[in-house]
Amino acid sequence: MLVRKKVVIHFPEGGVAADSDGDVCYAPSFTVDRSEIVSSVGAGDAFCAGALYAIHEGWPLREMLEFASAGARFNLFSATSTGGAPELETILSFLKSVKNEKI
C-alpha cells in the first residue's frame, strides 16, 4: 500500500492512522456511558474535523487520534451534528485531565 501523506480511519471503537514514513498508530475511543449519549449524528464528522486540525498543526499521529476522538466524544452529548462542538480549549482541557488520570 502506498501512502502519500496520511491515512486516517475512524470507527466506534477508535481510530487508526498511518503515514508515509510507515508509522502506524491506534488509539481507542474514549469511554462514554450509553445513558449519556444523546445522538451519534455528526460524531464521525467531528472526528474528521479534529484530525484535519491536528494534521494542519503538525501533531504526531497519537495526539492527532486522541484529539479527533475527543471531538467525536463531545459530539455524542448533543442531538445535532454541530451542537456538541466544543471550543478548542475545552478539548485540550479534557485531554489534559484524562492524561492526568492515567498518571
pLDDT at residue 1 in the model? 55
- Per-residue model confidence (pLDDT) at position 103: 45
Please compute, for residue 72, the number of CA atoms within 13 A of its CA located in the half-sphere on the CB side. 26
**What is the rounded radius of gyration, in angstroms, for the C-alpha atoms of the chain?**
14
pLDDT band for 45, please (50, 70, 90 cuts): very high
End-to-end CA distance of the chain: 37
Average pLDDT over residues 66-74: 96
pTM for the whole structure:
0.90
Cell 486516517 appears where? 8
Residue ranges of domains in the chain: 31-102
Percent of the chain with pLDDT over 90: 85
- pLDDT in the model for residue 102: 64
pLDDT tens string 12-36: 999 999 999 999 999 999 999 999 9
Calculate mean pLDDT across residues 36-54.
95
